[in-house]
Structure 1
Amino acid sequence: MLSQLMAENIDKMDRNILKLLQQDASISMDALAERVHLSRNACWRRIRQMEDAGVIRSRVALIDPAALGLGLTVFVMIRTNMHQSDWLETFARVVRDTPEIIGAHRMSGDLDYVLRVKVPDVDGYDRFYQRLIRQIPIADISASFVMDDIKDTTALPTDLAT
Structure 2
Amino acid sequence: MDRLDRKILRLLQENSTLAVADVAKKVGLSTTPCWRRIQKLEEEGVIRRRVAVLDPERVNAKVNVFVSIRTNMHSHEWLKRFSEVIQQFPEVVEFYRMSGDVDYLLRVVVPDIAAYDAFYKRMIAKIEIRDVSSTFAMEQIKYTTELPLDYLVLDKESGASNAA
TM-score (norm 1): 0.91
In the alignment, the residues of structure 2 paired with residue 12 and residue 122 of structure 1 have an alpha-carbon distance, to the nearest angstrom, of 46
Query: Residue in 2 aligned with 1:115?
Result: 106
Q: Which amino acid aligns with 2:71?
A: T
Tell whether 2:40 aligns with 1:49: yes
Equivalent of residue 38 in structure 1, options 29, 42, 56: 29
C-alpha distance in structure 2 between counterparts of 1:144 and 1:63, whole Å: 23
Matches within 5 A, 1:4-153: 10-153=1-144
CA distance in structure 1 between the aligned counterparts of 2:105 and 2:121, rounded to whole angstroms: 17
Q: Distance in 2 between matches of 1:11 and 1:103?
A: 30
Q: Deviations over 1:11-35 (max 9, x none)?
A: 1111110000011000001111000
How many residues get paired? 153
Distance (Å, rounded) in 1 between the aligned partners of 2:136 and 2:52: 25
CA RMSD of aligned residues (A): 1.0
1:85, distance to aligned residue in structure 2 (A): 2.5
Q: Aligned residues: percent identity?
A: 49
In structure 1, what residue type is equivalent to 2:31? Answer: R
TM-aligned CA deviation for residue 88 of structure 1: 1.0
Q: Distance in 1 between matches of 2:34 and 2:87?
A: 35
- Runs of 4+ in structure 1 off by over 6 angstroms are none
Give the counterpart letter for 2:139 in structure 1. Answer: D
Distance 1:56 1:29 in 2: 15
Q: List gaps (5 residues or longer) in structure 1.
A: 1-9
TM-score, length of structure 2 as denominator length: 0.90
Q: Aligned to 2:58, what secondary structure does the other structure show?
A: helix
Quote the Cα distance in structure 2 between the aligned partners of 1:30 and 1:60: 19
> In structure 1, how many angstroms separate the alpha carbons of the residues matched to 2:7 and 2:78?
43
Distance 2:23 2:58 in 1: 29
How far did residue 90 of structure 1 move?
1.2
SS in structure 1 of the partner of residue 73 of structure 2: coil
More helix by share: 1
